[in-house]
Homo-oligomer: A and B are copies of this chain.
């Protein structure tokens, strides 16, 4: 325990190298599911067997990636909320724009979440679900506070909103930038339907 833990430091560094390598290998044509341990270590520049010094197996690495991707997304959305509080444009529009920016600049992180949400590993599916649930709950609280809607209603509404946005993100992946704008317009409109419909069914007047 002398000056600085050079050993542990190096280990952490290699661990990061592996994680970064894995992210780098994800693309439209390669999902985490068909990514092999050897590919990852090749990209990371280490021996295949060295992988095990850092992760129990590919599943463990995958769950780490899901966590990181979720974290990135959450940070971005928090940033969007800050922009909103400071009085920037419409809540809906800003949120959608931010999310679409995430999809555009972090396409492979998003693809990971998107694909593993319906993948063959239950733990992966649960991990992604947890990330999404996070957004639904936050949004639900926001709606409840803002509109005074009852708990269940707010939750249903938030869930629908998140679902629509997430799916639009998935669609965006295969679209040209110009068509993405149209897509954004579509989803903004759809979110308004949900918000308005929820409100309208709440106050049965008229």
CB-CB under 8 A from A192, the residues of chain B are 197, 201
B120 and A34 contact, CB distance less than 8 A: yes
- Count identical subunits in the complex: 2
Contact of A198 among B125, B197, B201 (CB under 8 A): B197
- A 171-206 binary contact with B (CB < 8 Å = 1; else 0): 000100000000000100110111111101100011
Interface size class of A (residues with CB under 8 A): 35 or more
Point out the residues of chain B lying under 8 angstroms from A114, CB to CB. 118
Kindly state whether residue A163 has any CB partner on chain B within 8 Å: yes
How far is B159's CA from A21's CA once the two chains are assembled, in angstroms?
37
CA distance in complex: A30, B125 (Å)? 14
Residue A160 is within 8 A (CB to CB) of chain B in the complex: yes
Q: Does A170 contact B (CB under 8 A)?
A: yes
Please give the residue numbers on chain A whose beta carbons come within 8 Å of chain B beta carbons, in ascending order.
Answer: 28-31, 33-34, 111, 114-115, 117-120, 122, 125, 156-157, 159-160, 163-164, 167, 170, 174, 186, 189-190, 192-198, 200-201, 205-206
**Interchain residue pairs with CB less than 8 A apart (8):** A28-B120, A31-B120, A115-B115, A117-B170, A163-B167, A190-B194, A192-B197, A197-B198
